[in-house]
Structure 1
Amino acid sequence: MRWDPLEVNWPAFRGRYANLGSVVSIGGGPANTTSLLRVMNERAVFAEIFRLGKVSRPELAQATGLSKPTISVALADLERARLVRPVGLRTGNAGRAALLYEIRPEAGWVLAVDVGRAYVRLALADLVGEIAARAEEPSRAESLDGLLDQLSRMVAGLTAGAGLAPGDVTVAVFGTPGIHDKETGALRLAPNLPGWERPGAVERLAVVTESPYVLENDVDLAAVGEGAYGLGEGVSHFVFVSIGTGIGMGVVIDGKLYRGSQGAAGEISYLPVGEGDPLVDLGRGMFESVASAGGVVAIAERLGLSTGTAKDVFEAARAGNEAALKAVAAEADHVAHALAGVIAVLDPELVVLGGGIGAQAGDLLIRPVSERLESLVALRPPRIEVSTLGPDAVLLGALAVGLATARDLVFERAVAGPAR
């Protein structure tokens, strides 16, 4: 199966999201000018095949500006390196049918992992984004060791099921709550993942996969997924706001993910919204205390509604329950006040709501939030829409980052790395 859609302009994607987390170190290239130019030509051709899909020599010459003989040499080298393959002829035009080339899917593999408090989701994709296998389980996030054991078992099963050895994965991308402290190797601001705040915790992901790996904030990855595959595609200024078990935000400015000086941009759970409410737990953040799933349930119960989950509260509101409607109104007011601060600072064109509450209760929240914002912001509020990616937003973002990274890695290993 393919994610829908998967037509991503990878050169543009790399420009937009070039400041994502860990950078994989790659060895030096060829020593002489002739070899360097040849590798540059091959890299340009390789990138255009990614961008265009099935493509002919004349189309590559037009897209790259390189001569047809140069294109032929580059294609021959890429084919020998097992990065591209001929895939038939383009017919229907006058004259000779053109031989078409495409990326060889098995040239690289990407493992995308969404580590949540409630669920762990994995996807294994080939180099063109075709999903070979998926897995999902309730998360064993109550302990670091238990979660690492679970991830290791799931990754081993996923790769074996696809007929791969663990070392065949080109790159793995993990999305988790919190902020990776690169100095200590700990995960900060992730209270839903106990044990990860210990020094060196992040480095222990090395036991999960034998491949190079990248760790990213899950909501940042969701924003990347939204920009690559969802409502944020082609939008230069937007935010992705995840409201669920926790609350977070990914920020895209001028088409690039904005991280902040410590990687903590978008930690809106700590916005001073709900001050004075007895639910407030400063360890979790004021806004998250009153507006996350637990906050919605607590407010509903305080209003006299006996319920188990936030989903129950929203279903009761749809059925007309007065206490549930008041709880939803309180939630909308909290969200509107938080977004008013975001809008005043960032002036986004689009706000995308995701997460368990953002996605499932958008029909109840968007209208009252938009109306409340009319009186809270100086200019016209931005569009507010519910993500179309659902629970796969983080996984899609991890996949997008992994595919872009894997493309560069396989090229370096197969073409640029060896002596020419």
Structure 2
Amino acid sequence: MVDPIAPRAGTPASLRALNLRLVLDRLRDHGEATRPQIAADTGLSKPTVGQALLDLERYGLVRASGRSAPRPGRSAVVYQTAPDAGYIVGVDVGRRVVHVAVADLDGTVVARSEEPNRSRSGAMLLHAVAGAVHRAVAAAGLTGGDIVVTVVGTPGIPDAAAGSILRSPNLPGWERRGLLRELTSALGAHGSEVVVENDANLCAIGEHARGVARGVDVVACLMVGTGIGLGIVIGGKLFRGAHGAAGEIADLPFGQVPAGATAHRPGPMEVAAAGQAVVSAAQEAGLSSPTAKAVFDLARDGDARALRVVEAEAATLAHVVSVVTTVLDPGLIVLAGGVGRNADLLAGPMRHELATVVPLVPEIVGGHLGDDAVLVGAIATAMETAWELVFERRVLGRPAGS
């Protein structure tokens, strides 16, 4: 067991901790390097870097990976980070499936699972999510204590003050007051930090970090499936709005709410554009397609009725994009989700419709990550804080969950 530094500001211990951070950050940001390379990049002396590397190696945060290429004189030891110093978990809670991925600190997935969601209450779903995470962690050969950060993607608006997840009508019982606290407690029982985030937001983060939106300054990810939502990334950062409700486009007004539909349950735009709307429109057109996927497959095969349904769906989604474009002027619209992934059929008609109502039509593309978009966003979000938490626990001696 290595004794923690527990530094106070201005003390030698605090300077030592700062040096360790500098060296670790150099290896994290720019990859493996030798002691002379690290010294040149950080401005620290070679002896200081050598001591920092020795300490980081003792704390299990870096390791020697080999020696530099032979040159005149002695070759130098090459160091790299130790991504197995901790692990992170990403969770995507969907209406039909719960996806889980376990990754190391560099985001390399070491285990994943997909389990059906048959839950009929919030308590059942909470139990299912916790169980799926436990089984995925065990499949990776790990225990709950190895997990540093867990990020959960879910429909709705996580409200920490109320301890609830608002506006998630497609998940029975998921809006129950106090459920968010229970979920956080269950997933953090062994010391993991737990973050619960809107799934469309994580989809946008995923596509920006690893998908089609890399390098784009302003991105809007339109996620359409069982429900509908929008994730917004501006300047590389997720935009949540003042109350965390940015992108809750299900509540956009659109026509009249059908008879018998409870106000805002779900919202007007969700009624008009989500997966069930596509199925209903197909049935009204005389098709017997049981799913939105089946409708789009028929459209690809050239079925005239299915093509008309798809064109109508594109027009409805173009209405959403026109509002987003007017307010945000995004550089890219990413279509995702079970309906949105059909960009090959939707993007063209959407552009045509938009050209009649907005002066600048944004580029509209399908996401590259498919069903993994939310998980990739969850892992990317966890990676932002995981290394720092591991450093604080191993080097500074701060207990998990503090």
Same fold, judged at TM 0.5 (above): yes
**Unaligned ranges ≥5, structure 1:** 1-26
What displacement does 1:93 show? 5.3
Q: Distance in 2 between matches of 1:375 and 1:348?
A: 18
- 1:379-398 to 2 correspondences below 5 Å: 380-398=360-378
Correspondence for 1:305: 287
Correspondence for 2:234: 253
Q: Does 1:55 align with 2:44?
A: no
Correspondence for 1:10: none
Q: Distance in 1 between matches of 2:65 and 2:51?
A: 18
* Equivalent AA in structure 2 for residue 406 of structure 1: A
* Equivalent AA in structure 2 for residue 333 of structure 1: A
Correspondence for 2:336: 354
2:395 is paired with a residue whose SS is helix
Aligned residues: 390
* Equivalent AA in structure 1 for residue 278 of structure 2: V
- 1:228-377 to 2 correspondences below 5 Å: 228-275=209-256, 282-359=264-341, 361-377=342-358
Q: Alignment partner for residue 416 of structure 1, among 380, 385, 396? A: 396
* Equivalent AA in structure 1 for residue 133 of structure 2: V
Q: Distance in 2 between matches of 1:329 and 1:274?
A: 17
* Equivalent AA in structure 1 for residue 318 of structure 2: A
What displacement does 1:61 show? 2.4
Q: Distance in 2 between matches of 1:286 and 1:194?
A: 19
What displacement does 1:98 show? 2.6
* Equivalent AA in structure 2 for residue 395 of structure 1: L
What displacement does 1:322 show? 2.0
- CA shift digits 1:212-260 (9 cap, x unpaired): 2111111111111111111222211111110111100111122211111
Could you tell which deviates more after superposition, 27-36 or 38-47?
27-36
- 1:42-121 to 2 correspondences below 5 Å: 42-91=20-69, 95-121=73-99
Change (3 A) 1:278 1:198: closer
- CA shift digits 1:137-188 (9 cap, x unpaired): 1113421121122223222222222222222211211111111111210110
Q: Distance in 2 between matches of 1:50 and 1:85?
A: 12
What displacement does 1:92 show? 5.4
TM-score (norm 1): 0.88
- CA shift digits 1:268-291 (9 cap, x unpaired): 111223447669763211111111
Q: Distance in 1 between matches of 2:198 and 2:316?
A: 24
* Equivalent AA in structure 2 for residue 43 of structure 1: R
Correspondence for 1:213: 194
- CA shift digits 1:98-120 (9 cap, x unpaired): 31111112210111111111110
What displacement does 1:91 show? 0.7
Contact conserved, 2:103 with 2:110, CA < 8 A, in 1? yes
Q: Distance in 2 between matches of 1:397 and 1:370?
A: 27
Contact conserved, 2:122 with 2:176, CA < 8 A, in 1? no
Change (3 A) 1:331 1:93: farther
* Equivalent AA in structure 2 for residue 58 of structure 1: P
Q: Distance in 2 between matches of 1:271 and 1:120?
A: 28
1:416 is paired with a residue whose SS is coil
* Equivalent AA in structure 1 for residue 136 of structure 2: L
Change (3 A) 1:95 1:385: farther
1:142 is paired with a residue whose SS is coil
Contact conserved, 1:219 with 1:249, CA < 8 A, in 2? yes
Contact conserved, 2:187 with 2:194, CA < 8 A, in 1? no
- CA shift digits 1:280-322 (9 cap, x unpaired): 7632111111110000111111122222000111111122222
Contact conserved, 1:103 with 1:128, CA < 8 A, in 2? no
1:187 is paired with a residue whose SS is strand
* Equivalent AA in structure 2 for residue 183 of structure 1: A
1:170 is paired with a residue whose SS is strand
Aligned-residue identity in percent = 46
What displacement does 1:328 show? 0.6
What displacement does 1:266 show? 0.5
Could you tell which deviates more after superposition, 290-299 or 148-157?
148-157
**Unaligned ranges ≥5, structure 2:** none
- The RMSD of aligned alpha carbons is 2.0
Contact conserved, 1:123 with 1:395, CA < 8 A, in 2? yes
Change (3 A) 1:67 1:280: farther
Contact conserved, 1:226 with 1:233, CA < 8 A, in 2? yes
Contact conserved, 1:30 with 1:416, CA < 8 A, in 2? no
Q: Distance in 2 between matches of 1:176 and 1:296?
A: 22
Correspondence for 1:176: 154
1:195 is paired with a residue whose SS is coil
Q: Distance in 2 between matches of 1:77 and 1:144?
A: 46
Q: Distance in 1 between matches of 2:52 and 2:301?
A: 64
Contact conserved, 1:132 with 1:162, CA < 8 A, in 2? yes
Could you tell which deviates more after superposition, 148-157 or 191-200?
148-157
Q: Distance in 2 between matches of 1:329 and 1:280?
A: 25
2:118 is paired with a residue whose SS is coil
TM-score (norm 2): 0.92
